[in-house]
Amino acid sequence: MTDPIDRPGKIIAIHLSYASRADQRGRRPAAPSYFFKPASSVASSGGTVERPAGTELLAFEGEIALIIGTAARRVPLDEAWAHVGAVTASNDLGLYDLRANDKGSNVRSKGGDGYTPLGPHLIDARQVDPTALRVRTWVNGDLRQDDTTAGLIFPLAQLVADLSQHFTLEPGDVILTGTPAGSSVIVPGDVVEVEVDAPDADGAPSSGRLVTTVTQGDIPFDGELGSLPAVDDLQRTEAWGSREAAGLPPLPSTGSGPQTDAGLSPELRAKLLEAPTAGLSAQLRKRGHHACFIDGVHANIPGSKIVGTAKTLRFVPFREDLFASHGGGYNAQKRAFDAVDEGEVIVIEARGDATTGTLGDILALRARTRGAAGVVTDGGIRDFDAVAEIGLPVFSKGAHPSVLGRKHVPWDVDITISCGGATVQPGDIIVGDGDGVIVIPPSLAEQIADDALAQEIEDAWIAEQVAAGHPVDGLFPLNPEWRARYIAATGPSTGAGAGR
């Protein structure tokens, strides 16, 4: 089939569908999610695509495109493939410089003219097994992507059936089925070729090579009409595929490595929830850790306690040009709250400045929905009462009504920060209660928790003796005579002495 694809009624693209790409990004979706691309983005093989002036991160994504043959509405999975008329090659080009304000919708970053090359030939869907298609991409003759539909998280037929639940798929509509690992940045002069084939089918049908050449544009975007292109190291990493490919230095080591909530076992979490911060800090002090306190912060919900692993966010002092490039759109603050995992605590470096808010009710709701254990910030909170009503525990310096741009620029996530005078690394264990918030190195957490709980038992026994009228001298802490009595009454203890 060689019919041209000019103006499909709908172009629907999936965000993430190949296991190789999901592993590269470090996240695997539980269900497919989608975005639309305009029909005006369609281009033919042999054409060009412009990298706009003032941008740097135009990236290719070789994909398999499905062309709907017959209308599909609420079709079951086992009938979905019959509604596909053809498959072909596609290049779901995207400009990461424009993702900031349109993250998820991709309206500007993937909607540009020429950003959806398709073709050159159509493969009859009835001639191929949808689980045995292959997609390959070359840049300047070098093979960059090579994967098959066996590596999909969501089978092709599932995408058709799923989308048909929500709206009618009409003949000529295009579904872009996602890209495997290997997508990266292209520059003016590069030539990208994408091919889809079925190597095991009779005749090994192929789309042929879809060829696109990158050119340099000379017309910049008008910042008075909308947000300007903006990039940071996260966008560069995702566009290039890795920090190394983007020419960025490796992230600083966190010693034992970041410890996500998966590393904080339910048993350890239960111990830390039971142990008071005062007892935990005493055990840290016995091991020479005296700088474990996040000072000056208080809970927004009286009696609340938080336990979780740290996800860090850093603000730098306000500067007009830096806020223009990093403050708006999908900035570091929004990325942190969008990416926090269940059981994590977002810890914010705000330099101890309580005269501006560092989060408000919308971000608090997002964190609560994501399952965050809480937030610790050495700055202020907007919408203080609303955040408390949401039920998200937040330890802060108090309420302040101002917006983000008064004192801070959101700068980076998942780096070593300073919060309330304490150094916090991603994966550190955060515990907070009415006495305050402390930071525990992950390698010490198990023993610290055990010893703190043992100390609580010992202190409870000591309190009983004081209540019975005994003087504290020799009893608190236990001298040898009193310790012998304690052991006789309770059995051998792992506690290391009171020290409080």
In 113-197, beta strands by DSSP E: 116-124, 134-139, 142-148, 174-176, 191-197
Confidence of residue 36 (pLDDT cuts 50, 70, 90): very high
Tell me what pLDDT residue 370 has: 86
pLDDT tier, 205 (very low <50, low <70, confident <90, very high otherwise): very high
Is the pLDDT assigned to residue 82 strictly greater than 90?
yes
CATH fold for the domain made of 11-240: Fumarylacetoacetate hydrolase; domain 2 (3.90.850)
pLDDT at res. 500: 42
Task: Tell me: pLDDT of 374 over 80.
Answer: yes
Cα-only R_g, the chain: 28
- Bigger pLDDT: 474 vs 435: 435
Q: What is the pLDDT of residues 351-360, one digit of tens each?
A: 999 999 899 9
**pLDDT confidence of residue 492:** 58
The pLDDT assigned to 253 comes to: 43
Residues 456-471 pLDDT 10s: 888 888 888 888 888 8
Whether the pLDDT of residue 172 is over 70: the answer is yes
> What is the per-residue pLDDT for 91?
97
**What is the CATH number assigned to the segment(s) 261-443?**
3.50.30.40
How far, in Å, CA of 294 to CA of 277, rounded? 11
What pLDDT, on the 0 to 100 scale, is given for residue 396?
93
**Cis peptide leading into 38, omega within 30 of 0?**
no
Domain boundaries, the chain: 11-240, 261-443, 446-490
Residue 70 contacts residue 237 (beta carbons within 8 Å) = no
CA angle at residue 403 from 400 to 407, to 5 degrees? 85
Q: What is the mean pLDDT of the chain?
A: 88
The model's confidence at residue 162, banded by pLDDT at 50, 70 and 90, is very high
Nearest to 420 by CA among 317, 333, 315, 349: 349
pLDDT tens profile 230-279 = 887 777 888 898 888 888 777 544 333 333 334 578 888 888 988 889 88
The whole-angstrom separation of Cα 39 and Cα 50 is: 17
Q: What is the pLDDT of residue 457?
A: 84
How large is the average pLDDT for residues 90-104?
A: 85
Taking only the tens place, the pLDDT of each residue in 405-422 is 788 999 999 999 999 999
**Residue 210 is inside which H or E element, if any?**
strand 210-216
**Cβ atoms of 318 and 409 closer than 8 Å:** yes
Using CA atoms, how far residue 127 sits from 83, 132, 198, 354, in Å, is 13, 11, 9, 66
Q: Give pLDDT, residue 214.
A: 96
Check: pTM over 0.85? Answer yes or no.
no
Share of residues in the chain with pLDDT > 90 (%): 55
The pLDDT confidence band at residue 228, using thresholds 50, 70 and 90, is confident
DSSP symbol at 380: B
Question: Please, which pLDDT band fits residue 491 given cuts at 50, 70 and 90?
Answer: low
Percentage of the chain exceeding pLDDT 70: 93
Question: Is 140 or 291 the better-scoring residue by pLDDT?
Answer: 140
Residue 417, pLDDT score:
94
